[in-house]
A and B are shown apart, each in its own frame.
Chain A
């Protein structure tokens, strides 16, 4: 067994009991031994040497039943980027339809396109054998969220970029053609964007990791809103603090995130512990706070503040949502690790 794994295992041993406790227990054991000639192993646990045991209560020496996720940092970051880009694509499309300011549309398209380019890059660099990324396209498996996701990502890229280019060119050379290209590409990009913002929730939800699959019903919505918040925030920070539409969106997103936060906090399932305890708990909660209540409050405050003031507050809210969205993704992945570590057969009823 690997030392690291062992250390991890030993860390979870109970604290040593007090000396009097031990001495007392020693006498007990001596008597028991003298009487029956035998002592249960647990007697020694009290003597200060926790003998790891295999039992219904502890599972096999308290070792985890499941393997931890083996994704590197790129994956949570991708969840964040992909989510934001997906939302941005949607925003861009509706913005254009509703004939909003060209700058807003342009910047939205930019965010979508940049995200669309960044996403595959992050995915590839996470692979153990990056050169084999194309193997992802050997087959298409509806039953595998990752397979579906891969096709979404691949489909999301080209139209998003195309839409952006078309958009930029439109500034210089007027023409019906370009407009049509942009709107159709944009539409397609937006449709994929909806997938981008949501499928990652299914991806981690449909796994053996308890903390993930126990929240399968809320995860995609959670991620969608998180993406919306991040996307909106990103665009706003490009100088659209005054866009009422975006402010409304921000409001909706942070409100939704707050609701989900409350739901998660109230959920009794022991499987949710990693979302509340330990580092993973800290991060997810921080993420929740920064995308939910905090920006919500700020945006409301902004509505009553003076123009210059409100602009600053909006910027703060946006920054908070961005950071929050990123933390949320990191937190959830970390929670997955913890959940796996704690997954011995007796850890919870799920098994």
Chain B
């Protein structure tokens, strides 16, 4: 025990090696065994969610937890680089301000209430169905219209293509919603 202690005492190492206490002799065990935090983590190939440049990202994760996100050096577009927003993707996913629960506000209420996810889905389906029922126009002058203008959708430029596809498919082809829009223009 004592022996060990003495063996690890940098001062003795110093004396042995005649060094000035600024080099390896002064390093702690922790320092000697230092590793990058994503050592032995898995990696997912990803794409930056911010602007339209489309930088490659590497998302390191371990046991279902995100470890870090950095640029993918293999990307022919970004060559591993990221801008401040892209570089901040890890915080985007993990920051404390992020909402993790469904929130519900009744008409005229002054506060949010919590709501179970499945219940919320049922309620939204109800509202949607009712509004559609009441506002759907099948035809005009004997020609098909098959639309409702009373329900709108906004958003898409930050979503995946597959998600946009489902939006267009369900809302337009399925429900006859025409008020569909997103950030994109030209």
Contact = CB atoms under 8 A, between A and B. Distances in A.
Interface stretch (A85-93, A139-147, A195-203): A139-147
Contacts of A143: 20
A139 B14 CA distance: 7
A121 B26 CA distance: 26
B22 interface: yes
A137 B26 CA distance: 11
A140 B11 contact: yes
Contacts of A138: 9-11, 21, 26
Contacts of B20: 141-143
Nearest to B22: A141
Interface residues of A, number: 8
Nearest to B15: A140
Nearest to B21: A139
A181 to B, nearest CB: 28
B29 to A, nearest CB: 13
Interface in B1-18: 9-11, 14
A154 B9 CA distance: 18
Interface string B54-92: 000000000000000000000000000000000000000
A143 B25 CA distance: 16
B21 A141 contact: yes
Interface string A119-137: 0000000000000000001
If over half of B's interface residues share one DSSP class (helix, strand or loop), that class is named, otherwise mixed; here it is: helix
A138 B26 CA distance: 8
If over half of A's interface residues share one DSSP class (helix, strand or loop), that class is named, otherwise mixed; here it is: loop
A139 B21 CA distance: 6
B22 A137 contact: no
B12 to A, nearest CB: 10
A139 B26 CA distance: 7
A251 B25 CA distance: 49
Interface string B11-52: 100100000111001100000000000000000000000000
Contacts of A139: 10-11, 14, 21, 25-26
Which of B11, B21, B25, B26: most chain A Cβ within 10 A? B21
Contacts of B14: 139-140
A142 B22 CA distance: 11
A141 B22 CA distance: 8
A141 B26 CA distance: 11
Contacts of A142: 20
Interface in A310-326: none
Nearest to A142: B20
A138 B21 CA distance: 9
A142 to B, nearest CB: 7
Contacts of B21: 138-141, 147
A139 B25 CA distance: 9
Nearest to A140: B11
A138 B11 CA distance: 6
Contacts of B10: 138-139
Give 5 closest A-B pairs by Cβ, nearest first: A139-B21, A141-B21, A138-B10, A139-B10, A139-B26
Given A139-B21, A141-B20, A147-B21, 11 more contacts: A137-B11, A138-B10, A138-B11, A138-B26, A139-B11, A139-B14, A139-B25, A139-B26, A140-B11, A142-B20, A143-B20
11 contacts: A137-B11, A138-B9, A138-B11, A139-B11, A139-B14, A139-B25, A140-B14, A141-B20, A141-B21, A143-B20, A147-B21
